[in-house]
Amino acid sequence: MNIIIVGCGKVGTSLAERLSAEGHDLVMVDVSAKRVEEVSNRFDLMGIVGNGASFTVQQEAGVENADLFIAVTAADELNLLCCLMAKKTGNCATIARVRNPMYSQEIGFIREQLGISMIINPELTAAREILKLLKFPSAIKIDTFAKGRVELLRFRLKPEIGFGGKSIMEIMAKLKPDVLICAVERDNEVIIPNGSFVLQDSDVLSIVGSLENTARFFEMIGVRSKKVRNSLIIGGGTIAHYLAKDLLKIGFRTRIIERDPERCDYLTEMLPGADIINGDGSEEELLLEEGLEYADSVISLTGMDEENIFLSLFAKKHSNAKLIAKVNKIAFNDIVESLDIDSVIYPKYLTADYILQYVRARQNSIGSKVETLYQLFDGRAEALEFSIKEASEVTDVPLMNLKLKPNLLICSINRKGTILTPRGQNMIKVGDTVIVVTTNRGLDDIRDILNN
């Protein structure tokens, strides 16, 4: 596809990295010559210095032949104007990043009236991701498929679970859970395991199953999720605003520590049910005074990654809370992931994932397409949901007879709302949606799972 991206910031660069790796023709536009040069040198793409809302700049970028136009600058209004101009100048689909909470109630109207294909809000997306984790605190990360009927959960194996030194086949034979272990991360390596694979304590496992079956699996292995009823949020930015709004709706006691008095006044007005504390969230005494030791969850959302990490580690020492830290920069992410923090949220990765899902969905192959896509383990594996529109060489054949690519696992089949955990005798049929986890890149069609 021919894709124009306006904005060479964190999200734009992350998108360029993902989309260029998949062979799309990219043009990056930014007012900063330095940023354009950096991204052009790093990836195989064309860079243009200029205002992305300018008719002349869009013409130079080739908007008339573009399939997709993405505006992810720091300014909401500029992103909307860029997309509006692109719709008038070219005939492409458009995606705009819109972050201001003021527009959150008007997204549907804006999208419809301006003809924008998709509006993405990184802060709202991050807040919804955190909300999922608070509902299922045992998980490190949760992704959903089949319109919410299927979950992919990541969790770390602890010695008390008793899986260390046992093969997946042994565990499944003993527990008979209706879930699949679809990926294992060990020593910075991602493995798509078979039944003979032996697990070790401290492995990070990804499991796939229906909501009921994943919950039952955690009960079987003795990981009973302690219900989270209150949250201590450190940092009162936009993510905190969205998150607190959702938490209050479901009856959580919500406290936000924010050092800026004006921001505290704003949050007090916008979130009448929350406790807003004006203070420095990095001060140990303040955190302990505000009940850190008794908090069910501690969510670090300050503007500094290092502060969020250290706050989470401090909270680990003084409480049994579910810990979530926001990290914007991806450098040293392998070190961050190795720290004893329950969950780390990367807003720019989440945004790039959603846009990538849209790009994949537009790339229709014969009869099948990618409905949903998630990057796993920092992009080293993917989970894809295919919609099976017509018969092919993968349909009506027992799974045991399919010659699948290595490092690939069929994890779930959704047949008219019934979730099937795939076994050798199961078959993929027209009308199904199928979830696949793999370390192979660039699968666009269900037939790509075959090892031709």
Q: Looking at the DSSP assignment, which residues form a beta bridge with residue 386?
A: 370, 434
- One domain, residues 11 and 111: yes
Unique residue bearing structure tokens 């192959």: 365
Q: Where are the beta strands (DSSP E) in 306-380?
A: 322-326, 343-345, 368-376
Q: Does residue 137 sit within a domain?
A: no
In a domain, 40, yes or no: yes
Residue 221 and residue 213: Cα distance in Å, rounded? 12
Residues of the chain with pLDDT under 70: 224-226, 330-338, 363-369
CA-derived radius of gyration, the chain = 23
Asked if residue 320 and residue 256 are part of one domain, the reply reads: yes
What amino acid occupies position 338? Answer: S
Q: Give alpha helix (H) positions in 176-257.
A: 211-220, 238-249
Q: Does 310 share its domain with 236?
A: yes
Residue 105 is encoded by which pair of tokens?
């109630």
Answer whether 32's CB lies under 8 Å from 59's CB: no
Is 219 contained in some domain? no
Structural domain span for residue 84: 2-120
- Write the CATH number for 433: 3.30.70.1450
Closest by CA to 153, choosing from 164, 137, 173, is 137
> Based on the structure, what is the number of domains in the chain?
3
CATH number, domain containing residue 66: 3.40.50.720
At residue 121, the 3 state secondary structure works out as coil
241 within domain boundaries: yes
Would you say residue 169 lies in a domain? Answer: no
Same domain membership, residue 368 and residue 329: no
Q: Is 399 helix (H, G, I), strand (E, B) or coil?
A: helix
Residue that is last in its domain, among 101, 120, 139: 120
The SS3 of residue 29 is: strand
Q: In a 3-state reduction of DSSP, which class is residue 193? A: coil
Cβ contacts of 339 within 8 Å, gap of 6 or more: 309, 312, 313
Q: Catalogue the long-range contacts made by 311-314 (C-beta closer than 8 Å, 24 or more residues apart).
A: 311/234, 311/281, 311/282, 311/287, 312/339, 312/341, 313/339, 313/340, 313/341, 314/284, 314/287
- Residue 160 C-alpha from the chain's centroid: 29
Helix/strand/coil percentages in the chain, nearest 5: 40, 30, 35
Q: Tell me, what's the pLDDT at 226?
A: 64
Task: Tell me which residue of 123, 34, 41, 141 sits closest to 328, measured CA to CA.
Answer: 123
> Both tokens of residue 5?
């991206």
Kindly state whether residues 317 and 361 are assigned to the same domain: no
Query: Based on the domain organization, do 383 and 327 belong to the same domain?
Result: no
Alpha-carbon span 26 to 134, nearest angstrom: 38
Token pair, residue 358, equals 């849209």
Q: Which DSSP string do the residues of 131-187 spell out, in sequence order?
A: HHHHHSTT-SEEEEEGGGTEEEEEEE--GGG--TT-BHHHHHHHH--S-EEEEEEET
Are 356 and 288 members of one domain?
no
Q: Considering the domain boundaries, does residue 190 fall inside one?
A: no
Last residue of a domain, one of 295, 329, 345: 345
Q: Which of 322, 345, 368 is at the close of a domain?
A: 345
> Does 365 lie in the same domain as 305?
no
Residue carrying structure tokens 């007090």 = 268
Q: What is the pLDDT of residues 276-323, one digit of tens each?
A: 999 999 999 999 999 899 999 999 999 898 999 999 999 999 988 999
* Structural domain includes residue 327: yes
Looking at the structure, do residues 334 and 357 belong to the same domain, yes or no?
no
Structural tokens at position 124: 């709202």
Whether 23 is covered by a domain: the verdict is: yes
Query: Quick one: 437 and 374 in the same domain?
Result: yes
Instruction: Please name the helix (run of DSSP H) or strand (run of DSSP E) that holds residue 82, with its range, or none.
Output: helix 76-89
pTM, 2 dp: 0.79
Residues 368 and 333 in one domain: no
Whether 390 and 290 share a structural domain? no
Exposure of 41 in the CB half-sphere (CA atoms within 13 A): 6
